[in-house]
Structure 1
């Protein structure tokens, strides 16, 4: 037997011969044969344990280096437009080396997130360590999972946090990324799809899933919401300076005020109202709505603009906000803070005595907020409890605002927008992120006042841009489908109410139905059912109207700090009035339909993340009360079970179908009803129930309930055994067939 090489010799040979790291390659290089191969295997194992080499499948390579052919992910282009890559299989303790992509003629265009197989060449440069040349482009979006890592001897597994996930993921020892048992991790699918658990590689460790404020972090990662601004975007925001008065109308003497929630993170709209002194408009009002001029700071095509478009909107959680714009802008230069000069785009609207808008005029101005108020203190002032802050504003500011609002009630009654009455939950957290209480937000006149004035301003913006023949993004809400209306009609009739058929549907017809149910036991049922019958609103360059608000033309104008759609409308107004060079660009116009789809999708993503976060907080809040009884109402019916909304918190829990009794249930999808095959017992939306909380899983947000009573009585029982999924087959019944299948499988394996 030849003398075995030392560890240093083996390590040096592997480093000098990348791509030839298989054990047989090493044995051939050192002329190791026979029993010497067993010793070589032992040396290689020791080198791997010491961290001198890294084993990937059947090959070895120098620790801290990359193989000559490897999988890479494309990073966003840098300021110079160069594409850098990151290795997908990096096991070093330090940061992975920088890899520059060298494109050759005929290579496909690559974008951030694409995955490629590339050949690497090591270079001795300060800026990067490898150059990569494309072998082939791979699928750019591997399946991803967010879950809790459970360590095992050969790696571990990931238990997904998604309530709908029914499979765990297997993680090899080399793919754990150093994750510890019980950590929240993000991983991606690796390898070909085959039978058994999917294999995954951990790409990010996110800490303790039950830690303070981990709930919103889970939603951010699960839904892919960008929560870190690139350095270049932050730098661009930091260079911004306050806007001057030049070219603007001076509105600083107008006592505009902001009215927001007490915990508002930004202020992007301010209002003022006064009686109209025009004799031609007796009893009329003038209402000003001033909106932060974000377009001045976020120019078309800039880094800020590209990032804002990608995000689409700000996303709000009980413990944090993921803003559309960096804090320099969203929390400072664009926010209409009290007593400081801020650029704005404002609309002066003329209302008649009945609250109908009879004229408007847009200006680009400079304003100074007279006060930053919150809804509660404004409402208290109107109700006769003014404070030191609100008392001086009563006569000049607050009273005229409410007078104008009272007038708009008349116009609203004529217009008849959809009047749903669904309480909004408010989750109160401690400083450590623990749920202290779950309340329902008060719906004050102060809220309705701001809402009505914002709607008026949005209508004015849509009408103004239509008049100027400028492209814009409309807020579209199409009328519900015939099928959904038929389903709502069935629910209404089963509850003893009527929704007329065979006429052009108007919101007034739905309001009449809701009015019939108001104050009855079916009040909440009809509100939920009506909401579910609605289509989802979206953005589009064409105007298809807004059914829910009963408006022919509607555009979002009032929140450009937190919605990209509003920024597009602001740019269109700037271009239409020739207010500057920061208006709607040719690129904006060309991409308008694509932008509409992108921000509509981003809005749905944020809504889903916010809803999931609320579910998880509620599950955490109720986890200490497993076994307790709750009153509630059935809010949904599916083939697999019944959803119940609990009265106390508004949380939704599931009663699995197996827990509903000793009989089979027929599912009527259209009527949303389960009917017992033996007893004829019907279970449907809106019925009152008493339930026991069986499970509360904070990491998924899942609540499992047991049904105690339905409409005050115990559930009728059928004649069969209690349903618990599929009944097990009798032993031996299929034994001959199973044995035959087993023999076939064994022959194939051989």
Structure 2
């Protein structure tokens, strides 16, 4: 059929009066002259014509529509698509989901950091944005910044086909796809990566394969989220690497689809070494190792200055003073003046292997004090903000790191050791600058008074949790030297009781402690770390100080990073209550909710208490935990659901958490002890986003190193039988946590030859269709270790026996 001539443009623009009809386009393809002079489609159609049409359409268009708008025939479709592909390579058009095209200037383009899942899909966390314009560096005292309210965008889903050449951790530019819905509700926005703005992984850990190349050897990244090969030059290594050896390489240019050039820097060794596994984990999560020379130089200058002239905040050495003032002589109100606290018998209480002591405590009972105060808690926190100024090289590096990272055999600190283990660490017998909180409680543990000030302390002792617990249980020399520990125990129990009464949730989950031979790197064993009351004692005091600082800064209107914990996800809560309704707890009053009622922290705590000592205890604890949202830092006030606290922040660990350092700066500014600046608006949002991202990286790294060392420990025990409990149920199998070690493995449904199973998400059960066997969360089982795959971090199990099946 003859194609009809177009007399009126698609956009309603009439053809000029007397204009000659368009000549029929020939179908000969013109050659591409340069990278900018794109190939023409038949008839001489140029890139400019295509871009002009797309700019007027103002919405994504399909290829068939473009053929029609440009008055082309069907046979022109493939050449037109080739032209569009060329334009896309230049960044001038974008191909969206479903084959639609849009001019680049019309697409919504944002930037963010890519996180690739093990499934191959990715999510981009957008950079912080502000609703309104710029934000000043400082904020007037007593007034919270309201202009330019800040917001965060949801993460953007990236289909594996739309990742392009981006890798996990890269900062990328993304074109958003049109909004989509799933089951009537909006889901995560989707996008396509346009280009990599910053390649975050400058080094990669790779496995040497058995294949050699003209340049060296073919290697595969150790991180399973990186799905490509590297043609690696190994000439710089002292000896040829062996298959299976781990190398640290610098990736270079892309050679072909799925193949990159790389140069080997150093051999990491064999993967059986725990230190090698730690190095791999650090690389996988972008955890920085060595500090840059200019940062170390700045820290060294602080150390040199301190050695020449110790900074005691204007206070004289004790030898020159008449003596340290007693606690009663210290200011009872908040002040900018640095207080001499060397007469307060502070002690630090930390783990046996701790080196960075950032908090010290003292407790005393009071009789007849004003406002009904019966107990006084003193908390002194290292004054890191006195040494690390906003915008300095140390500050920029600390912000980039976000927090310290702890591993079984190593630590990557947020601050150089000169500060973290030296100038800022509250070592016994040495004068140290602090920010202090003096909090008064009544006889029921309710806070009545609070005062904050910079101070100077001299710790009376470096105590350990184990030592303090021994003193509390059996007395002895330590309690004689520090008799206030008994008062500290009494106050801590009061605070714990009050916190639990208001509904605060406690998930006393076992923490794995790996025993590693540091000389050989061999993983010897793994134990559950014992949680003592001495741990709770310090925890209660730190919680009290954090709440007191958050209340004070909120009342004064100073912007600071809150620690917020949103209420549980409604869908997960619904699953929780449906599951519990099928257990022995069904008739309990704690499960009866009014229509539209959202369970309070107290209600969830009551459910946990109701299940204690019953067969449902494990099930209830896990389900309540899984219903929880993730706590995060936010520039906006919000409740901390898990603590049942309306106002909370992190103040007590500025040596190892950047958010705490920001709170210290806000407190010093509010007291008048500092001129600022204090972050606000989008600047504060950007800082909290960075803290959240690095906190997630630390948590993910902690989980990964646990799985890696667990795999190393179990590699030599294939074939053994273990007892355990079902810790997770899915539609493809169930996870089992071993009784004698906090390590998980999986029993896959494919290992059952005599039955097939249906998954009941409400009851968290797998039900055998043929046999009626049931596997549920919390059920005791015995399993045989079938195999261990370190590269995939898999521990595969086979069922030996189960109770109540």
Tell me the TM-score normalised to structure 1 length: 0.72
Tell whether the 8 Å contact from 1:420 to 1:527 is kept in structure 2 after alignment: yes
1:421 and 2:508 correspond: yes
1:480 counterpart residue number: 568
Tell whether the 8 Å contact from 1:146 to 1:160 is kept in structure 2 after alignment: yes
Cα distance in structure 2, aligned partners of 1:590 and 1:152? 50
1:284 counterpart residue number: 374
Cα distance in structure 2, aligned partners of 1:442 and 1:510? 25
1:191 and 2:281 correspond: no
**Residue of 196, 199, 210 corresponding to 1:141:** 199
**Residue of 670, 678, 691 corresponding to 2:770:** 678
1:244 counterpart residue number: 312
2:669 counterpart residue number: 575
CA distance 1:598–1:139, change in 2 (3 Å): closer
Bigger relative contact order, structure 1 or 2, given CA contacts below 8 A and separation 6+?
A: 2
Cα distance in structure 1, aligned partners of 2:451 and 2:232? 67
Q: Deviations over 1:372-418 (max 9, x none)?
A: 1001111111112424x443212xx2122122223223422322201
Aligned pairs (5 A) from 1:732-743: none
Aligned pairs (5 A) from 1:67-466: 140-141=198-199, 146-154=205-213, 155-162=216-223, 169-172=228-231, 174=233, 180-181=241-242, 182-186=244-248, 188=251, 191=254, 194=257, 198-199=259-260, 201=262, 204-208=265-269, 209-240=271-302, 241=306, 242-246=310-314, 247-280=337-370, 284-387=374-477, 389-394=478-483, 397-432=484-519, 433-466=521-554
Q: For structure 2, list consecutive stretches of 5 or more residues without a partner in the other structure.
A: 1-168, 173-193, 315-336
Tell whether the 8 Å contact from 2:232 to 2:264 is kept in structure 1 after alignment: no
- Work out the number of aligned pairs and report it: 573
Q: CA deviation at 1:234?
A: 0.7
Cα distance in structure 2, aligned partners of 1:282 and 1:360? 13
CA distance 1:161–1:663, change in 2 (3 Å): farther
Higher mean alpha-carbon deviation, 223-232 vs 679-688, is at 679-688
Aligned pairs (5 A) from 1:694-713: 694-698=786-790, 700-711=792-803
Q: Deviations over 1:546-565 (max 9, x none)?
A: 00000000010000000000
1:639 counterpart residue number: 731
SS of 2:313's partner is coil
Q: For structure 1, list consecutive stretches of 5 or more residues without a partner in the other structure.
A: 1-111, 116-135, 714-750
CA distance 1:495–1:186, change in 2 (3 Å): farther
CA distance 1:325–1:662, change in 2 (3 Å): same
Q: CA deviation at 1:444?
A: 1.4
CA distance 1:232–1:139, change in 2 (3 Å): closer
CA distance 1:114–1:359, change in 2 (3 Å): closer
Cα distance in structure 2, aligned partners of 1:590 and 1:712? 55
Tell whether the 8 Å contact from 1:213 to 1:319 is kept in structure 2 after alignment: yes
CA distance 1:448–1:258, change in 2 (3 Å): same
Higher mean alpha-carbon deviation, 215-224 vs 198-207, is at 198-207
Cα distance in structure 2, aligned partners of 1:680 and 1:429? 44
1:497 counterpart residue number: 585
Tell whether the 8 Å contact from 2:247 to 2:265 is kept in structure 1 after alignment: yes
**Residue of 763, 768, 781 corresponding to 1:689:** 781
Aligned CA RMSD, in angstroms, stands at 2.7
Cα distance in structure 2, aligned partners of 1:415 and 1:206? 55
Cα distance in structure 2, aligned partners of 1:159 and 1:694? 26
Q: CA deviation at 1:669?
A: 4.5
Q: Deviations over 1:457-477 (max 9, x none)?
A: 000110110111100000010
Cα distance in structure 2, aligned partners of 1:652 and 1:330? 35
Higher mean alpha-carbon deviation, 280-289 vs 464-473, is at 280-289
Q: CA deviation at 1:586?
A: 5.3
Cα distance in structure 2, aligned partners of 1:504 and 1:204? 56
2:609 counterpart residue number: 515
Cα distance in structure 1, aligned partners of 2:763 and 2:463? 47
**Residue of 649, 653, 656 corresponding to 1:555:** 649
Tell whether the 8 Å contact from 1:256 to 1:271 is kept in structure 2 after alignment: yes
CA distance 1:558–1:142, change in 2 (3 Å): closer
Q: Deviations over 1:605-656 (max 9, x none)?
A: 0110011111111221222211110111111122332211111101011112
Tell whether the 8 Å contact from 1:617 to 1:701 is kept in structure 2 after alignment: no
Cα distance in structure 2, aligned partners of 1:214 and 1:173? 20
CA distance 1:284–1:142, change in 2 (3 Å): closer
Q: Deviations over 1:649-674 (max 9, x none)?
A: 01011112211333333334455433
Q: Deviations over 1:284-334 (max 9, x none)?
A: 100001100000011000000000001100011111111000000000100
Cα distance in structure 2, aligned partners of 1:138 and 1:377? 52
Tell whether the 8 Å contact from 2:300 to 2:418 is kept in structure 1 after alignment: yes
Tell whether the 8 Å contact from 1:168 to 1:198 is kept in structure 2 after alignment: no
1:5 counterpart residue number: none
Q: Deviations over 1:555-609 (max 9, x none)?
A: 100000000000000000111011134x3x1556651001111110100001100
1:603 and 2:671 correspond: no
Cα distance in structure 2, aligned partners of 1:650 and 1:223? 23
CA distance 1:270–1:461, change in 2 (3 Å): same
Tell whether the 8 Å contact from 1:142 to 1:189 is kept in structure 2 after alignment: no
